[in-house]
Amino acid sequence: MHDAIRSMMDRYECRSPNDYVNALREILQDLALLGLWRSRFFEHAAFYGGTALRLLYGLDRYSEDLDFSLLKPKASFSLKPFGEALQREISSFGFHVEFEPRRKPRAGAIESAFLKTNTLQQLIVIDADQELLRDMQPAKKLKIKLEVDTDPPGSFETETQFVLQPIPFSVRVYTLPNLFAGKLHAVLCRKWRTRVKGRDWYDLVW
């Protein structure tokens, strides 16, 4: 295991397979942010949503997706040019992931992609307790969804936050008041067919 990953694992007390999966996902999220930083992504976009609250502001629940907003509208924006940088960064720490862009709906403003990997293989990389992994399906996939709003709301504010592991780097992120506004919007304005999600209420109260 890479020394930096071993140090990152020290943040977690893993007692179950789910604990290890959550730790793995969060480490891969940090590495993805590092890859985006190296590729100058944050000159064009800001991090927001539940995972931003978790990784940068200390929200006490795990979050799965990486949500971003462009700093100004650009309908032609694509995540594809950043895919190689993400894979290269993550592989440099001993992990293997696939980058899978999704075709944006013609009328949609959300550009999305997935980072996918074999869960069991990557748990072996972080030296997960093999006894706990006996019953895990060998083909199980871990997915991290990346979404970029290419038509962002106006007048939002951002700030710079620093991530210290695996190396120190900076992330442009919505300020807490703007993150609060985003959660309030999620609670009030989600379409009825998708319903309000419990995590939105939790984050709003937090």
Residue pLDDT, tens place only, 165-204: 999 999 999 998 888 766 555 555 555 445 555 555 455 4
Q: Is residue 146 part of a domain?
A: yes
Q: What is the mean pLDDT of residues 56-66?
A: 88
| Domain that includes residue 74, residue range | 3-174
Q: Per-residue pLDDT for 66 more than 80?
A: yes
CATH of the domain at 58: 3.10.450.620
DSSP state of 42: G
Q: Is residue 132 part of a domain?
A: yes
CB 203 within 8 A of CB 50: yes
pLDDT digits (tens, 9 = 90+) for 32-58: 999 999 999 999 999 998 899 999 998
Going 40 to 161 to 122 to 139, the CA torsion angle's sign is negative
Contacts 24+ apart (CB under 8 A), 200-203: 202/61, 203/50, 203/53, 203/59, 203/61
Q: Per-residue pLDDT for 68 more than 90?
A: yes
What pLDDT does residue 178 have? 86
What pLDDT does residue 74 have? 94
Q: Is residue 184 part of a domain?
A: no
Q: Is residue 108 part of a domain?
A: yes
**Confidence band of 206 (pLDDT split at 50, 70, 90):** very low
What pLDDT does residue 182 have? 60
What pLDDT does residue 199 have? 55
Q: Is residue 180 part of a domain?
A: no
Q: Is residue 182 part of a domain?
A: no
What pLDDT does residue 193 have? 46
Pairing status of strand 141-149 against strand 110-118? antiparallel
What pLDDT does residue 59 have? 84
Q: What is the mean pLDDT of residues 141-156?
A: 92
Q: Per-residue pLDDT for 28 more than 70?
A: yes
Q: How many other CB atoms are there within 10 angstroms of residue 159's CB atom?
A: 13
Residue 145: C-alpha distances to residues 68, 112, 150, 189 (Å): 11, 7, 16, 22
What pLDDT does residue 143 have? 97
pLDDT digits (tens, 9 = 90+) for 90-144: 999 999 999 999 876 666 789 999 999 999 999 999 999 999 999 899 999 999 9
Give the number of domains in the chain. 1
Q: Is residue 198 part of a domain?
A: no
What pLDDT does residue 201 have? 47
Q: Is residue 206 part of a domain?
A: no
